[in-house]
Amino acid sequence: MTRSARFAPGGALRGGYTPPPDKSISHRAALIAAMADEPVAVRNYLDSEDTHSTLNAVRTLGAAVEQGPDGEVTIRGVGLHAPLEATGGLLNVGNAGTLMRLLPGWLAGQPGGVWTLDGDESIRRRPVDRVAEPLRMMGATVEARDGRFPPFTVTGARLTGIEYDLPVASAQVKSCVLIAGMFASGSTTVCEGATSRDHTERMLRRARVPFERDGLRSTVRQVDELELDEVVVPGDPSSAAFIVAAAILVSGSRVVIRDVGLNWTRTGFFRIAERMGAVIVGELEEPHADSDREPVGELDVASGPLEGTVVEPGEVPLAIDELTLVGLLGAHAEGETIVRGAEELRLKESDRIAGVVDGLRGLGADIEATPDGFVVRGDGSPLRGGTIDARGDHRMAMLGAVAGLASQEGVEVAGMDAVAVSYPSFEQELRALM
């Protein structure tokens, strides 16, 4: 049963706000902790459907997971080289694309082990050939439905290091190859065409894995054990982005966002919004930090008039999950906003190019799809409002909610329950600022 919710304009948003824990970093913390020999304390682990799928997967493989209060999770891992459990079995990734793309990197390095990965209806439409190809080059066997989609089976092997040029700018694929590289003889290098989120690299450095970064090349060497004692997960800038967008669009708003992750590879949306005229005060991390930490800070956001902008392909991976919000800001801005080089959006939890174009057009926007993005034109006035379908996609549901608060007549979001994937308390926290 899907649930609808109505979001009507209700005046300025005001107050302090702390986003939920970062989803990307939570997935990585659970997976990497499960590969360690000593227990790892993960603090502020995200409580959501996606990140539960990851805890369930590592439990199935033999790790012990203890969940305490307030996001405390202790993981007693199985080490890098002990045989994993459930060989021959099924691992259910639910809706979690990150779990589906990272976990095979670990499984591929387990000689003699065989696992099948599957998930929900949306995950079955998302390609896995992008991870199958490099893992096969390293020596594993990966067989997917129609050569491309889940369910798919990974048969582990003794892996050999490779040098791999990513055909798509994907942090998930990069991370999968780097994880497999820890099991591969020699060294494994991944070359990206454009910088994407670097949480895996930071966590591997933190776990004392021999790791080097040189521009867009990341190299990892075979390792016997990981040394990781604790991971503190910062607030998720992608979840915060929906609140930031609401504060930018609803006139008279001012919201202080606390304890939010400010890793440069995740803050592209904030830079794009500032370029459009939004007032966002805070210390975003500088580019190319070679750190083993995740920077955390505060952002002070206020509403203001916006103008159109062009988002170029190099910026896309840095704002990949927030690009639909650029469409919404563009619909309220004066002039034209163009997003280019974002064809990857068609392969997310839903086709987000179709979703944002059909969805915002239904609310009164002048927006059209292009093969690799969209173009939206505004005159600085708010959208009319109407109904939007979340299409089973958590980020489309949150987009609809923000659009409603910024609109003239309000928006009915069909399928609001999709938010449980990344942000179960979204609606409550958004309304608390009104």
Residue 223 phi, psi dihedral angles, 5° rounding: -140, 150
- Window 131-170: contact mask with ligand S3P (x via CB under 6 A): ---------------------------------------x
Residues 316 and 265: beta-carbon distance below 8 Å: no
53 binds ligand S3P (CB under 6 A): no
Return the number of the residue (171 or 284) whose C-beta is nearest ligand S3P: 171
Q: Which segment (40-48, 171-179, 222-230, 278-286) binds ligand S3P by CB under 6 A?
A: 171-179
List the beta bridge partners of residue 378. 335
Cis omega (within 30 of 0) on the bond before 151?
yes
Residue 303 interacts with ligand S3P (CB under 6 A)? Answer: no
Please list, residue by residue across 299-308, b when 16 or more beta carbons sit within 10 angstroms of its beta carbon and e when fewer do: bebebeebbb
Distances (CA, A) of 48 to 180, 258, 398, 423: 26, 20, 15, 6
How near is the Cβ of 365 to ligand S3P at its closest, in Å? Answer: 23
Q: What are phi and psi of 214, to 5 degrees?
A: -135, 100
- When asked if residue 218 is in the footprint of ligand S3P (CB under 6 A), the reply is no
Least distance in angstroms from the C-beta of 154 to ligand S3P: 18
Q: Cβ 321 to ligand S3P, closest distance in Å? A: 5
Provide the H-helix boundaries in 129-215. 129-138, 171-181, 199-206
Residue 13 or 240: the one with the smaller Cβ distance to ligand S3P is 240
Q: Active-site residue 321, yes or no?
A: yes
- CB 204 to ligand S3P: min, Å: 14
Count CB atoms within 10 A of the CB of residue 38. Answer: 13
Residue (of 348, 297, 292, 299) closest to 319 by Cα position: 348
CA dist 354 and 236 (Å) reads 25
Considering the candidates 120, 321, 389, 393, report the single residue annotated as catalytic: 321
- 172 binds ligand S3P per the rule CB under 6 A: yes
Q: Give yes or no for a contact between 155 and 113, defined as CB atoms under 8 angstroms apart.
A: yes
Task: Tell me, residue by residue from 196 to 215, as one string, x for binding to ligand S3P by CB under 6 A and - for no binding.
Answer: xx------------------
98 binds ligand S3P (CB under 6 A): yes
Contact with ligand S3P (CB under 6 A): which of 73, 84, 171, 240? 171
Active site residues: 321
Residues within the interface to ligand S3P (CB under 6 A): 24, 98, 170-172, 175, 196-197, 320-321, 344
